[in-house]
A and B are shown apart, each in its own frame.
Chain A
């Protein structure tokens, strides 16, 4: 074996707000994964699409799992598929669709890995119907340098299983996982768009639509037009022959940030939003949309992210209870308009899931806000944190790169229990990232 398996690499969060250089290994054999000194701090990395620095950290060896991307076993009777954690969502879907199989929880970018999906317990286009990623995981194998390989599931080491789903890589490296697939309901989707005047109207519409795809998008620039938006509502449709592959040019945290400046500001954001709304108004129904195009809207539509350029963006995503969503939306609108916040886009999804480890999950409404960066951005988000505390909301740690330990203590429902478990399970705290350092978990 070559001795030179580690190099120094500069890692950047997908939102572009934090970069650091650290040791980087890309194991492609089991002996490589196992080779670093067992006392060496490390953190697993998947596709690198987290907005926060969850897969790298100061003095932590980054173990990039993308070469561990093999399909291991398929049971046609139970529709369970065992794979390695570095398999990307697109690889899974390009295998599944031609076999008339489907996996329902697909976050928006095709190069996200399954390991990253478990670690952040991600959600797809309709978490109210499909739950979150961990609802579809039957079994995991973890590698911890001081404990070796451990298999866990809801019945075998159930606590470790729960702490790994949403555990941001801090319990060990997920090497394999077994997923529950379903039969492909139909070859395509009919995606309808409904214009709505504000987020509250979207909540009403989404509550009454029992569709397969359900989310909304809104103009979040401050002003009279705040909140105008489109509800996306999709149903399976028999019409189209399913395209089993997606054509796109990969976007990474580095390629996203190529533009040296941000093209988004109050004016350009408003113009872009108006154009999207106009387009939505005229393109009311889109009869047949491919499954992959619907699942991965950001694959072909990269300009939104790329135009934030090198300064990057801030996204914050939080879950608010059914009871509080109305008041929360009003308060968010007031805050944005009063402070002339640098917000650009807001989106809503109805949510249902089991909260585990550090995940954002439960029943309620997911609200996401994207901001371009200027001198007011962080102050605005600080005020939004206060609002979130008042509403008893939960924050999504994979989408927000700035959540402090104090805020997390009140907005990450499982933090205290996770911390207790982690410090008993792994006293030396071998797995570490900037996220774990920031939250006092290192």
Chain B
């Protein structure tokens, strides 16, 4: 069975690739630079003996070049899953962001994952496959920081809710993970309030749960913080500077 990992070059995407390959799954790894996914593909093939194909694709581009992706699928076992860990943030992401950056963050974090999901939905429906999306605790409540990122991830979360509704009874599994801090480059330079989780541990949980449906928090304690932030009185919340 083959899984496509969008954003499979680094961080959580790479950890997912390592986990799924170790379990014998074939993979198609997508990111902007084929040097990264090419190296990872070689590594997974050498270590785990599975077929892995790298594909270079920029999610910021529109329309997405599906042909390249579709053509490599022909060399693989049937498609079983689409994993969408790609994501991007920007230190300048505050209310008042430039139109160009706003469009970039919206495309990579929301529109492109939805387009990919739509494109492979019929095939995954046929194969009783899985679709897995990834959001962030940054969506708990809009703040001045990460404004466009959180908005895009909220939109993605809503789209996954619609997908879950659509998928019910159609044999597709659909999951959406709301993630806390991860020890990856996305947050490497940020001063974090809490310890960050190892992407490997998150990938283990995602693999274990891959045929379940629903929305999950990882690591789980983040659910409590997420709710606390949502329930904070406005008079307190507006003073927070995180």
Contacts and interface: CB of A to CB of B under 8 A. Distances in A.
Nearest to A29: B36
B33, B88, B90, B189: most-surrounded residue (chain A CB, <10 A): B189
Contacts of B39: 70, 72, 84
B237 interface: no
Interface residues of B, number: 27
Nearest to A3: B91
A30 B91 CA distance: 21
Contacts of B89: 2
A27 B90 CA distance: 17
Contact of B185 (A26, A70, A71, A73): A26
Contact of A72 (B43, B91, B185, B187): B43
Contacts of B90: 2-3
A73 B46 contact: yes
A4 interface: yes
Nearest to B14: A28
A73 B90 CA distance: 35
A72 B43 CA distance: 6
A1, A70, A74, A84: most-surrounded residue (chain B CB, <10 A): A70
A4, A26, A74: most-surrounded residue (chain B CB, <10 A): A4
B36 A30 contact: yes
B53 interface: no
Contacts of A201: none
Contacts of B190: 4, 7
A28 B43 contact: no
Contacts, number: 66
Nearest to A4: B189
B88 A1 contact: yes
B43 A71 contact: yes
B168 interface: no
Nearest to B34: A30
A363 B22 CA distance: 44
Nearest to A176: B39
Nearest to B10: A28
Contacts of B31: 29
Contacts of A27: 185
B78 interface: no
Given A29-B9, A71-B46, A4 B36 contact: no
A71 B47 CA distance: 8
Contacts of A391: none
A95 interface: yes
B88 A2 contact: yes
5 contacts: A2-B90, A4-B91, A4-B188, A28-B14, A70-B39
